[in-house]
Amino acid sequence: MRQVKVERRCKNCGKVQWVYPSHANRPYCSQACYFTDTSPLRRWSVEEDAIIAAQYPDDDVAVLASQLGRTIRAVHTRAERLHIRRSGYLPSTGGVFRPAKYRINELFFDTWSPSMAYILGFVAADGMVTSDGRFSVCSVDSYIVEYIRDAMLSTHPISIEQRKPHHKPLSKLTIHNPRLVQSLKPLNIVPRKTHILQMPKVPHELFGDFLRGYFDGDGYVFSRTVSMYTKAGWPKSKMCQTSFTCASRRMLESVSDRLSQNHDIRPGRLSQDGNGNWVLMYYSITSTQIYQLMYANPGRLYLLRKRQRFEDYLRAIGYPERIIPAVDC
């Protein structure tokens, strides 16, 4: 005669199983539950759980395990059951947590700040995200990549790539963190954004920081001597040109609109270069206005060589008082 299974509830974990009557008198679902419930040395106390909650996210697990008199594997397992994650941990397949080799503030783009706005602008111009959760920024100026890494509380290494024999080496920061990449999606930073990039909703007080980041990634400034006809002849004078480059026309149109509507800067000249990219250009007076906006409070997040070109122009035309003093951070 076929036996009918009966319900059994584990005395330790409460798990319900359907077993044959011959196994119904066994109060535990596994040997692990038996040892956990019957051995005082293996039972997790409330005090131990509190210690794990306080120390597991940031402290050394080996030291924590020694403090609790447990194995490292036991500490990891208990933290997983308590839904406590270590800083920098990523969920892997199967719901098991694996430790990330490097750390990163994966909530960095969730809150607006001057450094967040700058890095967002830099990423919009010269950064990249991928569908598999990778984030990267690069520059020939290694120090700005280091500043970006420090601002994001990252411990990831910066790689050096030599693109061509006579080109400057490229410093590149690459971070694999799906949570970080996902937080950039509402800010219009998506995979393959080159031709579809749109202006994110940047707060008014942080637009200068965002624009400085975009300018350091895909902008340039230079000054030259030009001759202008007047009644007195053809006197020579200095002219400064500030340009922003992008493959998306909509992005540069939004930049021009924000500058004219919110900051009283005359709309720039928008044209297309020989490579099919769009260029937004400003000259002399409007260039100095953009300088005043971008470097009002830059901290250390800016490219020194681009800032110096603005300031050299202001000295050449006799307005050194308009130069914003640099603040050491």
Q: Chain-centre distance of CA 184, in angstroms?
A: 8
pLDDT at 231 over 60: no
Stretch 2-29: mean pLDDT, rounded?
Answer: 80
pLDDT at residue number 79:
84
**What is the β-pairing status of strands 278-283 and 269-272?**
antiparallel
Alpha-carbon separation of residue 14 from 17, 30, 160, 196 (angstroms): 10, 12, 55, 53
Q: Which long-range contacts (CB under 8 A, 24 or more apart) does 152-158 make?
A: 152/104, 152/105, 152/108, 152/119, 153/103, 153/104, 153/105, 153/108, 154/102, 154/103, 154/104, 154/105, 155/102, 155/103, 155/104, 156/102, 156/104, 157/102
All residues at 6 or more sequence positions from 46 whose CB lies less than 8 Å from its CB, including other chains: none
Structure letter (DSSP) for residue 100: -
- Residue 90, pLDDT > 60, answer no
Q: What is the average pLDDT score of the chain?
A: 84
pLDDT greater than 80 at residue 286: yes
Q: Are 310 and 287 in contact (CB under 8 A)?
A: yes
Q: Residue type for 321, please?
A: E
pLDDT tens digits along 138-157: 999 999 999 999 999 888 89
CA atoms of 165 and 225, how far apart (whole Å): 33
3-state secondary structure 175-228: EECHHHHHHHHHHCCCCCCCCCCCCCCCCHHHHHHHHHHHHHHHEEEEEEEEEC
Residues 139, 170 contacting (CB under 8 angstroms): yes
More confident residue, 225 or 171: 171
What is the C-alpha to C-alpha distance for residues 2 and 62, in angstroms, rounded to an integer? 51
d(CA 312, CA 212): 18
Query: Torsions phi, psi of 145, nearest 5?
Result: -70, -40
Angle ∠(157,169,280) on CA atoms, nearest 5: 100
Pick the range with the lowest mean pLDDT from 98-102, 172-176, 200-204, 321-325.
98-102
Give the separation between CA 150 and CA 179, rounded to whole angstroms. Answer: 19
Q: Which spans in 1-58 are helix H?
A: 31-38, 46-55
The two beta strands, 134-139 and 127-129, are antiparallel
**Contact status, residue 214 vs residue 244, Cβ threshold 8 Å:** yes
Per the DSSP assignment, residues forming a β-bridge with 198 are none
pLDDT of residue 318: 84
pLDDT in tens, 149-190: 999 988 889 998 877 777 888 999 999 888 899 999 999 999
How does DSSP assign 110-167, residue by residue? GS--HHHHHHHHHHHHHEEE-TTSEEEEEES-HHHHHHHHHHTT----EEEE--STTS
CA distances from 269 to 280, 283, 304 (A): 6, 9, 26
Q: Answer yes or no: are the C-beta atoms of 290 and 242 closer than 8 Å.
A: yes
Average pLDDT over residues 287-297: 91
